[in-house]
C-alpha cells in the first residue's frame, strides 16, 4: 500500500473542485489526477506548484506534514 504523501483529494473536496476540472486546467489525463488523489503516484514539484496556483492555496497545503516523533 502506498504511503500517503499528498493531500490533493482533501483540498479538492474542501474547495469543491472535481478531479476532472483539475485535469482540464492542467492538461493532464483524469487517470493521472485520480492516481495522485489516491496517492498511487505523486505529482512532480512543478505540477504541485501549478496546482497550488490554480487552487489559490499554498503548496504546503497539498503535502502531508512530516510526523514528529
* CATH superfamily of this structure's domain 7-62: lambda repressor-like DNA-binding domains (1.10.260.40)
The residues, any chain, with a CB within 8 Å of residue 21's CB and separated by 6 or more, are: none
**Where are the chain's structural domains?**
7-62
pLDDT surpassing 90 at residue 42: yes
For Cα atoms 47, 17, 10, give the angle at the middle one, nearest 5 degrees. 75
d(CA 42, CA 44): 7
pLDDT surpassing 80 at residue 69: no
pLDDT in tens, 53-64: 999 999 999 998
Helix, strand or coil for residue 27?
coil
pLDDT band, very low/low/confident/very high, at 1 (cuts 50, 70, 90)? very low
Q: How many residues does this entry show for the chain?
A: 69
Strand-pair partners of 6: 63
pLDDT band, very low/low/confident/very high, at 65 (cuts 50, 70, 90)? confident
d(CA 39, CA 10): 12
Amino acid at each position: 500500500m502506498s504511503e500517503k504523501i499528498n493531500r490533493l483529494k482533501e483540498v479538492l473536496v474542501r474547495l469543491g473542485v472535481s478531479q476532472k476540472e483539475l485535469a482540464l486546467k492542467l492538461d493532464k489525463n483524469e487517470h493521472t489526477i485520480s492516481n495522485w488523489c489516491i496517492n498511487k503516484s505523486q505529482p512532480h514539484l512543478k505540477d504541485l506548484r501549478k496546482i497550488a496556483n490554480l487552487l489559490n492555496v499554498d503548496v504546503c497545503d497539498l503535502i502531508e506534514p512530516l510526523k514528529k516523533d
